[in-house]
Structure 1
Amino acid sequence: MSALAAWFWNERFWLPQNVTWADLADSESGEQYPRAGHILSAFPIALGIFAVRLLFERFIAKPCALQMGIQDFGPRRAQPNAILEKVFMSITKCPDGKRLEGLSKQLDWDARKIQRWFRHRRNQDKPSTLTKFCESMWRFTFYLYIFSYGVRFLWSTPWFWDTRQCWYNYPYQPLTSGVYYYYITELAFYWSLMFSQFTDIKRKDFLIMFIHHLATVGLMSFSYVNNMVRVGTLVMCLHDASDFLLEAAKLTNYAKYQRLCDAFFMFFAMVFVTTRLVIYPLWILNTTLLESWELIGPYPSWWLFNGLLLVLQVLHVIWSYLIIRIAYKAIMRGKVGTGKYHPLPVLKDDRSDVESSSEDEDAALNGTKAIHNMSSNGANRVNGHAASGQWVEE
């Protein structure tokens, strides 16, 4: 184990030349630097955040939803049938034509009636609008809080105004209480998301989002351990800028305030594209690639860190294209969130919505799902984001 630890914590990978872990030990003057052990404190905080969320949803979000007229009832339940239930649980939830024909003969039911039973049975396991509203309200509240805190904190830091300050005297940059709180709170929140995935609304992209949250935690932990926390705070704040807007759009969509929903989504799209395609490359990548090369030079973990940030930029381009395409289609149709063929699957969220109950609605659902599947990205945001639906979390 000691040999494995020595290999993993190799100073020549993590730190610049002529810098050792001993150099970053707490100094006699009381200065403290980031340590890997600090990350462990995120676990109890994550459990605390999860507990706060449960209380928030029950005593704040749910009363708000009921006050807005959102009812706590799910979709229509399928009538009990032992044979169909067995097929549903052990064979398939979406029987093909051949199986429908066999079940029709066995039960003496019309094939259309069996299709309807399976649709109702699938919907039966899906959450109510109230449940989704409470989940989105919690995320909206946290994202708004952490973004506000990030802006307020960074406003008084020198590296917010001059990114070269991220690299002066690196890695001998003392850890301040503000940076520690910011990092550990964000880290704990994403750990709490990983925990809550097992109790939240079950969606098709469960595994994808779990891997995304794990990657987010990994990137944040990596930047903390090698003391790239200054530029890390800039990355986190930049990605937080659009999250709460998307959750606001979802909230207003659930409450059926459609014009407000449209406005929030369009504002979200503008902020997302501006932060990810303009500010991120000109502000973040410029300092991590060019200014850091000039001031500290490259070393192994520097290459890895910048490689991950460049991959993130590629994802930004893909996500922005998908958002722009959806917004464009919405504008061309003269509406953002209404209509039979819904142009905004991100707000309808096909991973959990109730399926249609007529042939026309089935066609609409299939059309929406086709757009949605084309929009899947497999990762939400590196600090999270990219935030809702299968293609955008933070």
Structure 2
Amino acid sequence: MDLLPDLWKQEYWLPPGVTWKDMEQLADSNRPEPQDLLVALPLSLGFVVLRHVFERFLAPPLCRYFGVKKRSRMPAGSFPQLEVFYSQRSSHPTQKEIASLMLLCGKTQRQVEMWFRRRRNQDRPCQTKKFGEAAWRFFFYLAAFVAGFFSLIDRPWFWDHRECWRQYPFQPLERAHFWYYMLELGFYFSLLLRISVDIKRKSAKMFHYGTGWKKTCDSLFVVFSVVFLVTRLVIFPSKLIRATLLLSMEVFEPFAGYYFFNILLMVLQVLHIFWAGLILRMVFKFLKGKLEKDERSDEESVTEEEEDNSEDENLDQSRDCYWEKSKETLNSRLSALTNNCVLNNLTHQRLSLPNRMTKSQ
């Protein structure tokens, strides 16, 4: 029971010599409170509704404009025993389970594996749904960037980072910044509410799903790479981490919150370096003309769907090839049979020719 009061000790969150009572000198309208976080909960529900409206009414016209179409998928077929196993046990059976399913439904191993592959593809989101998810994030992030830029551009501490710590921690919270934080938090809460049905997609994937937009997608990839590397590897450590780690020490002495938040920023910078490594590897492949997929994305669903399509194409090709070979074999046999018939007739006529000559004499 004493854990919660200890968590809010002023020594943890405030510089030395500052107490929670000192923070009360700020006006109530300008002082942030922990209960303000509850404002993000109804906002998250509003984002869920707004997203539903976007994907229902705005995403379909955008799909048609970008040429995004649903790919036809081969149906798995009706096999009750396999369907029960798929829904109740696993969508990826082991080799031992496949062997038992072969005996249960009287199918070959190839047929059972093909059924599970097609059945998994039926549950995956189609291209239009993926496009709608990417488009929703694209428009939100674009609006958030514009709103954040214009709410910060005229503030003195946007240009001089020493201004961030002037009069700290007795700094009023402006209403524009308050609502910006709450809207951002509400948006990410809405993603948590839909995390079980969503697949994380990049905003640039919109052009990847469309037809005839390859150059646009490549251009956006180049822009994204440059912006990411500059902002995450140059601006973030040289400006933000420098301000929190070094410039703040000109105003107050270190305390627990100082170490806590700076450690989190350092962990984030390590992740930036890791992601930058992946992006640079993609850029290298892009320059060599060998970039085929986004290495940051989950490859399993895309790879398996492509394998399923290739399997179907190979199956169709094998059927066509088998039919062509069958026709060739049939034609050769008919030709041989015809030749034999003609040869037999000629032989018979040659043998019967002397008899007919004798009879005529």
- Structure 1 equivalent of residue 160 of structure 2: 162
Identity of aligned residues (%): 38
Change in Cα spacing, 1:361 to 1:281, as seen in structure 2 (3 Å) is: farther
Change in Cα spacing, 1:9 to 1:328, as seen in structure 2 (3 Å) is: same
Distance in 1 (CA, whole Å) between partners of 2:26 and 2:93 is 67
Report the CA distance between 1:273 and its aligned residue.
1.3
Distance in 2 (CA, whole Å) between partners of 1:121 and 1:361 is 14
Alignment partner of 2:198: what SS? coil
- Structure 2 equivalent of residue 138 of structure 1: 136
Preserved contact between residue 81 and residue 104 of structure 2 (Cα < 8 Å): no
- Structure 2 equivalent of residue 84 of structure 1: 82
Report the CA distance between 1:318 and its aligned residue.
0.6
Preserved contact between residue 26 and residue 172 of structure 2 (Cα < 8 Å): no
- Structure 1 equivalent of residue 305 of structure 2: 355
Alignment gaps of 5+ in structure 2: 313-361
Report the CA distance between 1:187 and its aligned residue.
1.0
Q: In the alignment, which of 265, 268, 273 is matched to residue 229 of structure 2?
A: 273
Higher RCO (CA < 8 A, seq sep 6+): 2
Would you say 1:318 and 2:318 are equivalent positions?
A: no
Change in Cα spacing, 1:26 to 1:48, as seen in structure 2 (3 Å) is: farther
- Structure 1 equivalent of residue 185 of structure 2: 187
Change in Cα spacing, 1:10 to 1:358, as seen in structure 2 (3 Å) is: closer
Report the CA distance between 1:118 and its aligned residue.
0.8
Alignment partner of 1:37: what SS? helix
Report the CA distance between 1:307 and its aligned residue.
0.6
Relative to the length of structure 1, the TM-score reads: 0.73
Alignment partner of 2:306: what SS? coil
Distance in 2 (CA, whole Å) between partners of 1:292 and 1:122 is 53
Report the CA distance between 1:330 and its aligned residue.
2.9
Q: In the alignment, which of 121, 124, 130 is matched to residue 123 of structure 1?
A: 121
2:12 aligned partner, one-letter code: F
Distance in 2 (CA, whole Å) between partners of 1:46 and 1:22 is 32
Preserved contact between residue 74 and residue 128 of structure 1 (Cα < 8 Å): no
Backbone CA RMSD of aligned residues: 2.4
Aligned residues: 310
Report the CA distance between 1:72 and its aligned residue.
4.8
Distance in 1 (CA, whole Å) between partners of 2:129 and 2:284 is 30
Distance in 1 (CA, whole Å) between partners of 2:89 and 2:47 is 39
Distance in 2 (CA, whole Å) between partners of 1:195 and 1:75 is 29
Distance in 1 (CA, whole Å) between partners of 2:99 and 2:47 is 50
- Structure 2 equivalent of residue 60 of structure 1: 58
Preserved contact between residue 329 and residue 343 of structure 1 (Cα < 8 Å): no
Report the CA distance between 1:321 and its aligned residue.
0.4
- Residues 72-81 or 294-303, more deviating: 72-81
Report the CA distance between 1:65 and its aligned residue.
1.0
Distance in 1 (CA, whole Å) between partners of 2:273 and 2:121 is 34
Change in Cα spacing, 1:359 to 1:47, as seen in structure 2 (3 Å) is: closer
- Residues 301-310 or 52-61, more deviating: 52-61
Preserved contact between residue 25 and residue 32 of structure 1 (Cα < 8 Å): no
Distance in 2 (CA, whole Å) between partners of 1:124 and 1:359 is 13
Report the CA distance between 1:67 and its aligned residue.
3.7
Per-residue CA shift, 1:236-288, capped at 9, x if unaligned? xxxxxxx9xx40x2000011311211111121111111111111110111111
Report the CA distance between 1:359 and its aligned residue.
9.1
- Structure 2 equivalent of residue 9 of structure 1: 8
- Residues 164-173 or 87-96, more deviating: 87-96
Per-residue CA shift, 1:14-64, capped at 9, x if unaligned? 111121222222546x76222112111111111112111111111111221
Preserved contact between residue 75 and residue 128 of structure 1 (Cα < 8 Å): no
Relative to the length of structure 2, the TM-score reads: 0.79
Preserved contact between residue 282 and residue 294 of structure 2 (Cα < 8 Å): yes
Report the CA distance between 1:346 and its aligned residue.
4.2
Distance in 2 (CA, whole Å) between partners of 1:250 and 1:351 is 17
- Residues 109-118 or 67-76, more deviating: 67-76
Distance in 2 (CA, whole Å) between partners of 1:335 and 1:261 is 15
Distance in 2 (CA, whole Å) between partners of 1:320 and 1:159 is 28
Change in Cα spacing, 1:5 to 1:99, as seen in structure 2 (3 Å) is: closer
Distance in 1 (CA, whole Å) between partners of 2:97 and 2:178 is 58
Change in Cα spacing, 1:92 to 1:6, as seen in structure 2 (3 Å) is: closer
Preserved contact between residue 330 and residue 344 of structure 1 (Cα < 8 Å): no
Preserved contact between residue 26 and residue 32 of structure 1 (Cα < 8 Å): no
Per-residue CA shift, 1:45-101, capped at 9, x if unaligned? 111121111111111112211343323567333101112122323343223334334
Preserved contact between residue 56 and residue 138 of structure 1 (Cα < 8 Å): yes
- Structure 2 equivalent of residue 235 of structure 1: none
Report the CA distance between 1:302 and its aligned residue.
0.9
Alignment partner of 1:355: what SS? helix
- Residues 94-103 or 130-139, more deviating: 94-103
- Structure 1 equivalent of residue 215 of structure 2: 259
Per-residue CA shift, 1:89-126, capped at 9, x if unaligned? 33432233343344334433232222111100111110
Question: Following superposition of structure 1 onto structure 2, how do residues 207-286 of structure 1 map, counting pairs within 5 Å?
Answer: 246-247=202-203, 249-256=204-211, 257-286=213-242
1:122 aligned partner, one-letter code: R
Preserved contact between residue 117 and residue 308 of structure 2 (Cα < 8 Å): no
